Amino acid sequence: MPLPSIGGGTFARRGGPCIKLYLHGHANRPFFHIVITSKYAPLGTHPVEQLGTYDPMPNIENQKLLSLNIERTRYWMGQGATFSRTAAQLLGKAGFLPIHPETYMKAWRNRYKEADDAEAKKVAEAAAGSGPSQPPSSSS
């Protein structure tokens, strides 16, 4: 049964509203609902409101789709809602929030890894190219 888009959930005594990603979908086909819920609410509880959706699987044009109700998200931000780490990273990449510091760290790690891989590839090619050479075969 899908969760209702508005209503159904309440806030716990401790912890205020939090914007989180709720996982939906099937095996090998994730799909997320961006919802507002209590900060300490266990998974599977009804959210207070659904703010949008996120499909991380690339479509035909290699796009990952994000739909977000900007007005309601700004309303909840004004009410003091916090963001989970994954929601903050996702909305930072989408341009709604400032880019999360962990996104920068991941990008730098990927750059260093690519540079190391390229250097290792050059060394391997140089080692393969400088091996014992075959004398030219004479065809008589």
DSSP string, 32-47: EEEEEEETTPPTTSPP
CA 131 remoteness from chain centre: 45
The answer to whether position 16 is within a domain reads: yes
Question: For residue 35, what are the β-bridge partners?
Answer: 20, 50
> Which domain covers residue 41, as residue numbers?
1-84
The answer to whether position 137 is within a domain reads: no
Q: What domain count does the chain have?
A: 2
- Could you give the angle at the alpha carbon of 108 between the alpha carbons of 32 and 58, nearest 5°? 30
- 20 and 48 housed in the same domain: yes
The answer to whether position 133 is within a domain reads: no
- 12 and 56 housed in the same domain: yes
- 31 and 58 housed in the same domain: yes
- 69 and 114 housed in the same domain: no
pLDDT (tens, 9 = 90+) of the chain, 140 residues, equals 455 555 556 555 567 899 999 998 888 999 999 999 988 888 778 889 999 999 999 999 999 999 999 999 999 999 999 999 999 999 998 888 888 888 889 889 999 999 999 999 988 888 887 655 566 666 65
- 45 and 112 housed in the same domain: no
- 55 and 108 housed in the same domain: no
- For the four alpha carbons of 103, 20, 6 and 66, in that order, the dihedral sign comes to positive
Q: What φ, ψ does residue 88 adopt, rounded to 5°?
A: -65, -40
Helix H or strand E segment including 126: helix 101-129
